[in-house]
Structure 1
């Protein structure tokens, strides 16, 4: 490995100084940092530590780790803390091994976790189950950095045996434990944190985040494709900078190609927050919390750094990992091998009669989707009846939502949802958190059936249908990821989004919003394989309310 020097304005986040200097790189390390004369240079670039995404499910980008890495380095991200939870739900240990294996083929420093909640609940069918024995097997490994988000917070609070066993195994190996506790507060929160759970990326209000920080948690400010909490939480930077990190959680390819953690740094700096506090949240805090082998632009550190035009723009000019330039002048400097294909998909037969809903007495409970949030709301509506059946009513934005099990043959679950705005057609996906069965939403049964059929025939994908036009993004890797690069996937995905918007939807990320309507651990009303699910009572509930209720 050759030795070289990089000149520019050095951003020293440890000493909180910026000065003109020269970085000498030798054998992949920062050998020496020297000051240079403080004179105006034509090419006055800024050199700073490489950025870290503190929590992401790579699979949500629909890219394999190799192609995800190519986009990361374009935006200055050198390390990624990743929970392979999505593929673990489909493929189990084989899926986790796949992500680690593919991640090792590229320079980006991946820190993978042991997915703690596979399946997310015992109330749905997934492709695998990771019990305490598997968690112990994973925790022993050097390529597993932490116990990934413990979503079963009721199980933690009530000290369910299998949940506490997993937590104790992580503590035994001295590895961090990620949290997932939306809305949890008071004594239940203290019990949750008391078990050693140290982070939360689900906070959506300042009040919630401050309570969690004051009880010892680190808060990950999340800005992804579906959940966007940056604007609500960035004021924390004034008083709680040492307790903050940045993450994307779930990011679709059309957003990823336009920016990553660098965009959060840019936005925070432009809002007037202290540059060093912001950069620490994007670099030092996750590096220290997870014990990452990632350099922070200090002598002796791995040479993981980036060169940008200005902190207020965060346009990345060059990215270095272990002393190797992996991105320069618009070019990614490493090759990605064609990824392997693994999948688990049982294509059961489906008939349009399977998704009809017989009318019950009274009004019906409807899921209200919320743009930019994983949370949903419960609303009560008068159903539209045609004979003995209830049908979608696009005039009131009441659409049919269908859940189809991809692992075994069983009747579909059906509900109604508001918020998507479709006036015609249907769209669906084999990405549906967390078990990744098939979800389809539409205005009529014929289009819903056709979309589901195309997904099953292709063993996974995102599909939209409007009239005679059907668009498909195939997802051959576990029904979650493409085997193509980001520009290709983003182009296909954008085409599907355009088609969905032409059908009437105004959601920022309609496919991703759809994908969370089956996540039974996020409030308030979701659709599982047995029907509507109330997260407050943690039970399935009937669609119809005989005694009525207020219309919404």
Structure 2
């Protein structure tokens, strides 16, 4: 909340008592009491950025007709990467506030892996201007691994220390390198020690038993990587807050629905992690998670509690999450309670209107010309081998976890080839930070599950080191797509038959567009159409699926610029 003076605090007291007109009153509606679960008919009075009155009638200097509406606390997205929305933080602000998201806890490690601490400076400058409350976690794993990939930057504990006291910083972001924690890597321990007593975000897919105990003993308190109900229940029982994720690729809400109850709701929260403008426009943001949970049988007040009060408490944001006097005036006015249809949003006591966004100072983009990959040819994607047998990355739709599939592929003259009959195409990662020696910096292997019959898809969004990842049924089209990304400063490209069919430029660190969220949405449509109709791709979100193939901290098989990675063994595989 904003710093108070005697005058502003006195005004809040008088307006709460009803002896002075409130700054803003939501008149004639009902609000959701997250303590009792009841819908209460009452005005809601606001002074400055604070709720000052409920359970009564109030007069306001400005009054908003809330008749027929239900007022709930603003939604808190507990874990996301703004970069994955493909838009800059100020555009993200304008994109998700109409969906009721008034607080977002972001980890800028996508940009940090490209630019280092400069990414923190950029996000903190942006967070000081946003209408929503954008909070920043300090990226713990830059790079995600030290020996399996080439990153654009490296951040140690000393690099994070200058940001700890910033008012927008919550704590240490998702600790992805859980093997580094368990095996007591000194670099990991330095960061964990510095943040003891503060918030440390977790990231521990499939971690169970005593290894989970050891991970938690390091002071880590949350996890957004649960994909099964039994895994989530074990983590809940051991004191973790489980962040239930429903993004554009990782869709865990239905799998985790069995763990949601009134009893567990104080220890649950919602997050999106990675959600693109197409799905935000077509489905929504956190409002989509709430309505989906309610439709599946979750009591509405439980779903709304998870989306607000429980989420805020998990991240020590104790000033928000209830419609009650003294709490931050982050509120959502619902046209329909059961379907979470958002009619209006109040952020820090301000009714969200276009004028709020227009009044913000503009933040200049950074990270231009960060795609420094060498030009490639079709020859760069040949896979030499002693025989036809090979481990293949198996796509699991809706998951970033991948399977290891051991297959026999066409083989001749010491080279393995694509096999469309087995739905196997090539995948390669090209180092793009300009750090590789000539002739090096390309890892090439095979992937199954795209349904691709022709052409190629390339992306400079490649979690988390953001080298260029390309998937293709034709090596020449793969090379064309990679080279085109260098020309447009990064983004997504679809090629087929020697032609670029569709593209979107993401020149901010090769991750985010200079355009508005509406324009990015419109640019993504022909990309999706080209992938499906021209290439035959069957995945719902192929571009984000491509982007997660080089993430070597998510089981079981991944690929980086150094080659194929057995994540379970944390080592490279010679294909």
Superposition TM-score, scaled by structure 2 size: 0.90
Q: Does 1:215 align with 2:253?
A: no
* Aligned-residue offset at 1:138: 2.5
Distance of 1:310 and 1:430 partners within structure 2: 40
One of 381, 405, 409 as aligned partner of 2:407: 381
Alignment correspondent of 1:299: 325
Q: Is the 8 A contact 2:388 2:411 kept in 1?
A: no
Q: Does 1:168 align with 2:193?
A: yes
Alignment correspondent of 2:136: 112
The 3 A distance-change label for structure 1 pair 319 and 42 is closer
One of 112, 128, 142 as aligned partner of 2:167: 142
* Aligned-residue offset at 1:362: 4.1
One of 466, 472, 478 as aligned partner of 1:442: 472
* Aligned-residue offset at 1:388: 4.0
Distance of 1:221 and 1:130 partners within structure 2: 28
Distance of 2:237 and 2:156 partners within structure 1: 32
Distance of 1:107 and 1:197 partners within structure 2: 30
- Residues 171-201 of structure 1 show CA distances to partners (whole Å, capped at 9, x for unaligned) of 1xx3211101111111100111111100000
Q: Is the 8 A contact 1:61 1:252 kept in 2?
A: yes
5 Å matches for 1:446-485? 446-467=476-497, 468-485=499-516
5 Å matches for 1:167-246? 167-171=192-196, 174-238=197-261, 239-246=263-270
Alignment correspondent of 2:5: none
Query: After TM superposition, which residue ranges in structure 1, 4 or more long, deviate above 6 angstroms?
Result: none
The 3 A distance-change label for structure 1 pair 278 and 352 is same
* Aligned-residue offset at 1:46: 0.5
Distance of 1:28 and 1:541 partners within structure 2: 55
Superposition TM-score, scaled by structure 1 size: 0.93
Which region of structure 1 is more displaced relative to structure 2, 475-484 or 392-401?
Answer: 392-401
* Aligned-residue offset at 1:423: 0.7
Q: Is the 8 A contact 2:425 2:447 kept in 1?
A: yes
The 3 A distance-change label for structure 1 pair 469 and 348 is closer
Q: Does 1:316 align with 2:346?
A: no
The 3 A distance-change label for structure 1 pair 362 and 396 is closer
Distance of 2:123 and 2:85 partners within structure 1: 13
Alignment correspondent of 1:5: 25
Q: Does 1:17 align with 2:38?
A: yes
Distance of 1:466 and 1:386 partners within structure 2: 25
Distance of 2:190 and 2:367 partners within structure 1: 30
One of 563, 566, 571 as aligned partner of 1:531: 563
Alignment correspondent of 1:46: 70
* Aligned-residue offset at 1:497: 1.1
- Residues 382-420 of structure 1 show CA distances to partners (whole Å, capped at 9, x for unaligned) of 112354432222232110111100012334111011101
Distance of 2:266 and 2:320 partners within structure 1: 18
Distance of 2:562 and 2:496 partners within structure 1: 29
5 Å matches for 1:3-152? 3-7=23-27, 8-35=29-56, 43-123=67-147, 124-152=149-177
* Aligned-residue offset at 1:274: 2.2
* Aligned-residue offset at 1:469: 4.3
Alignment correspondent of 1:546: none
Which region of structure 1 is more displaced relative to structure 2, 271-280 or 124-133?
Answer: 271-280
User: Does the residue aligned with 1:483 lie in a helix, a strand or coil?
Assistant: coil
**Gapped runs of 5+ residues in structure 2?**
1-7, 9-21, 59-64
Q: Is the 8 A contact 1:73 1:332 kept in 2?
A: no
Q: How many residues align?
A: 535
Alignment correspondent of 1:508: 540
Distance of 2:138 and 2:563 partners within structure 1: 30
5 Å matches for 1:254-403? 254-258=278-282, 259-292=284-317, 293-294=319-320, 296-327=322-353, 333-335=356-358, 337=362, 339-343=364-368, 344-403=370-429
* Aligned-residue offset at 1:268: 1.5
- Residues 306-347 of structure 1 show CA distances to partners (whole Å, capped at 9, x for unaligned) of 1001221111111011111114xxx67522637423232323
User: Does the residue aligned with 2:518 lie in a helix, a strand or coil?
Assistant: helix
Which region of structure 1 is more displaced relative to structure 2, 310-319 or 269-278?
Answer: 269-278
Q: Is the 8 A contact 2:24 2:349 kept in 1?
A: no
Distance of 1:295 and 1:220 partners within structure 2: 16
